[in-house]
């Protein structure tokens, strides 16, 4: 008989409560019984006061900050705003920063990621590249190729079930990825019907409005879960219009997501 997998800590992703600021997100994570939390950092509007308030809320909650997001790479980036996201995360103790790229030049994407990894060296934050058909790094294969070009120990890869499915990336290939590249993963379920990749509006709506609670959709979550390194933190990235409408209060929404996620995880032990 194989040994039972360790229980994964779960984190409330900022995308579950996108209408709310960092303090409300942290409070919702506590109410939902999450082990960690993730925060959205807008470098334009985030101030020193925002950092102080978030730091105080994290200390009161006693929750680790799993990640900050999002660094969105573009071809003409000067990287200063992106470095600010890392700096804020470092001040708050974030373990990871989430990155995506809309730059079709994968070599330039890799160079920018390498520069961000170098900026993150003092705090040891992992720089996690997320692939998906809404970006220019669309598949697992492309993401791994970019990572090979980055060649930095802080470079990481972020897996999200909906993007794995919509990009046609193979779960069997995820199981072959070096576990050192996967410090954490996102998790959610989704409908079986895939949007037309050529219809970007449908792709975005699928990703930000139509996700479902774990076990309530059609994704092969059990297989993906088994392919991931055992026990890594799972950021529950459940962007759902239905949940936003059913639970306008962030704490009630987080509680519903947390309960459903733990119920599903119990079936995996």
- For 10-266, CATH gives 3.20.20.150
Residues 6+ apart with CB under 8 A from 220: 165, 171
Q: Where are the domains of the chain?
A: 10-266
Residues 238-244 have a mean pLDDT of 98
Q: What is the token pair recorded at 176?
A: 């072959």
Residues 25-36 have a mean pLDDT of 98
> Residue written as tokens 């705090």?
123
Residue 75 has what pLDDT?
A: 82
In this structure, are residues 171 and 224 in contact, taking their beta carbons and an 8 Å threshold?
Answer: yes
Looking at the chain, the number of H-run helices and the number of E-run strands are 11, 8
Each residue of 36-74: pLDDT tens digit? 999 999 999 999 999 999 999 999 999 999 999 999 999
Report the C-alpha gap between 177 and 140 in whole angstroms.
10
What is the DSSP annotation of 79-114?
Answer: SHHHHHHHHHHHHHT-SEEEEEE--S-HHHHHHHHH
Q: How far is CA 166 from CA 16, 21, 119, 163, in A?
A: 20, 29, 32, 5
Each residue of 182-221: pLDDT tens digit? 999 999 999 999 999 999 999 999 999 999 999 999 999 9
Distance in angstroms between the alpha carbons of the first and the last residue of the chain: 13
């Amino acid at each position: 008989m194989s040994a039972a997998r360790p229980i994964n800590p779960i984190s409330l992703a900022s995308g579950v409560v996108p209408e709310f600021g960092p303090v409300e997100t942290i409070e919702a994570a506590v109410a939902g019984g999450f082990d960690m939390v993730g925060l959205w950092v807008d470098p334009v509007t985030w101030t020193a006061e925002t950092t102080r308030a978030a730091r105080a809320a994290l200390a009161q909650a006693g929750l680790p900050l799993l990640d900050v997001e999002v660094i969105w790479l573009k071809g003409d980036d000067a990287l200063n705003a992106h470095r600010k996201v890392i700096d804020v995360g470092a001040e708050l103790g974030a373990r990871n920063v989430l990155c995506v790229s809309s730059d079709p030049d994968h070599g330039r994407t890799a160079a920018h990621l390498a520069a961000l990894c170098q900026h993150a060296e003092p705090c040891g934050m992992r720089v996690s590249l997320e692939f998906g058909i809404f970006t220019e790094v669309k598949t697992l294969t492309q993401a791994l190729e970019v990572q090979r070009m980055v060649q930095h120990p802080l470079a990481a890869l972020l897996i999200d079930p909906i993007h794995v499915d919509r990009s046609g990336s193979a779960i069997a290939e995820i199981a072959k990825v070096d576990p050192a590249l996967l410090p954490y993963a996102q998790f959610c379920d989704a409908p079986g019907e895939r949007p037309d990749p050529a219809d970007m509006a449908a792709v975005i709506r699928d990703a930000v409005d139509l996700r479902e609670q774990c076990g309530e959709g059609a994704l092969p979550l059990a297989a993906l879960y088994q392919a991931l390194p055992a026990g890594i933190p799972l950021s529950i990235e459940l962007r759902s219009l239905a949940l936003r409408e059913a639970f306008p209060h962030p704490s009630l929404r987080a509680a519903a997501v947390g309960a459903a996620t733990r119920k599903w995880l119990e079936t995996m032990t």
